[in-house]
């Protein structure tokens, strides 16, 4: 029974296990939480930046539509 995880491009359980083992070999068990924490911070900063840009664009389009109606 192969379980595919849609959020990671159809990787199965064996592929994920292999990736985890390679990470353990390269970085060791002590460094993996630090790497995951850094990755989480990076993803959070990216989401915040994209949300900020989206909000600025939406505000700009609202200002444009209100000035064209006047």
Confidence of residue 10 (pLDDT cuts 50, 70, 90): confident
Task: Say how many CA atoms lie within 13 Å of 14 toward its Cβ.
Answer: 2
Q: What is the pLDDT of residue 69?
A: 63
| Annotated domain spans of the chain | 6-69
Rounded to two decimals, the pTM is: 0.55
DSSP 4-68: -BGGGTTB-HHHHHHHHHHHHHHHHHHHHHHHHHHHHHHHHHHHHHHHHHHHHHHHHHHHHHHHH
* Phi/psi of residue 45, nearest 5 degrees: -65, -40
Residue 9 backbone class (left: φ over 0; alpha: ψ -120 to 50; beta: rest) = left
Task: List, for residues 19-69, the tens digit of each pLDDT value.
Answer: 888 988 888 888 888 988 999 999 999 999 999 999 999 988 888 776 666
């Amino acid at each position: 029974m192969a379980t595919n995880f849609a959020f990671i491009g159809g990787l199965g359980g064996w592929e994920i296990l292999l990736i985890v083992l390679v990470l353990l070999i390269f970085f060791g068990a002590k460094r993996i939480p630090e790497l995951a924490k850094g990755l989480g911070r990076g993803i959070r900063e990216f989401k915040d930046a994209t949300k900020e840009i989206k909000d600025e664009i939406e505000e700009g389009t609202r200002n444009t539509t209100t000035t064209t109606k006047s």
